[in-house]
Amino acid sequence: MQNNSPIQNSNNDINLNNYLKNSAQENFTGKILEGKKILLGLTGSIACYKTCELLRMLTRAGADVKTVLSPAALEFIGEKTLETLSNNTVYLDMFAPKDGTEHISLADWADLLVIAPITANTISKIASGIADNLITSVSNAYLGSRKPVIIAPAMNTGMLNNPFVQKNINTLKNEGVKIAETETGQLACGYDGNGKMAGVEKIYNLVLETLCPKSISGDLTPKKKLIVTTGGTKEWIDPVRFISNASSGRMGLCLADCAHSMGYDVELISTVEFQKKLPYKLTIVNSTLDMLNALKKSFANADYLIMAAAVSDFRPKTPALQKISKKQGENLTLELVQNPDILQEIGKIKTENQKTIGFSLATQNILETAKVKLQAKNADFIIANEAKTALNTDENEVWIIDKAGNTCHINKNSKENVAKAILERVL
């Protein structure tokens, strides 16, 4: 029998683009969204015609969908089309209410808000708290409820690259809004570049990840506990100075986000405090010893540990109690002692029902270094990556090595997509 998984054998490359495109294919039929209430917004873009197919897919899966339009959206799609496909009222005018105070009642009603397509204009208004039409009013009320939001931008390449538009997209992202990233191709304006609305399959997949994570992850038991560590630890020299590294914590955050969307009970142990509000437990630590102590408290009840943190191998033997002045430090000698190896320490106490997954960061001999760590630390998997590619960037390229020495290469891609492929492999 042929294996259609995106990860078929050891020593293979994962085609992430095909994986993301196909991950929702088996979920288009059936009533997996039965009982879910989705508010689908459309704004003034030619991509509105694609949203008809998304609406069809959502209703076919059993979702109760109501549509809300910006005034400009009516230039691209008709009210009757959406009313027929959704079998529901179409909402247009905030000053001609059909169900009371609509921007509040619709926000209260929905389990999920999806805006596809969303223009630069509407993105900027929502990010700035402007509520001058029904869709921006609903969005502002809905964001205030902290319920999930998905947006699918669509616009000209130049508009997308405008630094103010990018700032507004990042503002929404930092508030927990999920972004169906734009695609590259021939645009309606004649440009050939980035700005096309994400494919409806990709948006649909985001809906499933948000509302029905078990449908993405198969027969996964939803309450298995998974711990992720992230960020660079800080080893204090004196009260104001420390030894650390360039880790941003983004890879670990992406792993935690993805695992949570798959239905795991997630704890993120981090040296970084993130701007967005996280829907799972966050434990903030500073030093390697702090992280080890936090792990010892949590690991006994965990099923998986993913050690993505960039921990310091050494710490100052005797940190100064007061700030070291320039005069005192004229001929300063800093004596270091070795930190405990966290993954190795956890490897000594884990049971046969627990799995540990480590990261190996190197500047040379990447795979050889990772294989040595795999054996020394009693880990189930080691994920090898190169420092220049991984540290303080939005992308990563990794090699996953299992106990048998099988190696799976994940090509360079966004850390969000790499995280999905890692979890597919190690869980």
343, β-bridge pairs? none
Check 48, 52, 189, 258 and give the catalytic one.
Answer: 189
Separation of alpha carbons 121 and 299, rounded Å: 47
Mapped onto helix, strand or coil, the DSSP state of residue 212 is coil
For CA atoms 16, 19, 24, 25, give the dihedral sign. Answer: positive
Ranges of beta strands (E only) in 99-224 are: 112-118, 149-153, 178-179, 183-186, 192-196
Residue 189 bears catalytic tag: yes
Backbone angles phi, psi at 152, to 5 degrees: -125, 95
Separation of alpha carbons 225 and 230, rounded Å: 17
- 147 contacts: CB under 8 Å, gap ≥ 6: 110, 111, 112, 113
Mapped onto helix, strand or coil, the DSSP state of residue 270 is strand
> Which tokens hold the place of 307?
């050690």
CB 86 within 8 A of CB 66: yes
Separation of alpha carbons 347 and 77, rounded Å: 58
Number of neighbouring beta carbons within 10 Å of residue 157: 17
Separation of alpha carbons 37 and 64, rounded Å: 5
Separation of alpha carbons 303 and 354, rounded Å: 5
CB 208 within 8 A of CB 27: yes
228, β-bridge pairs? 268, 306
Catalytic positions are 189
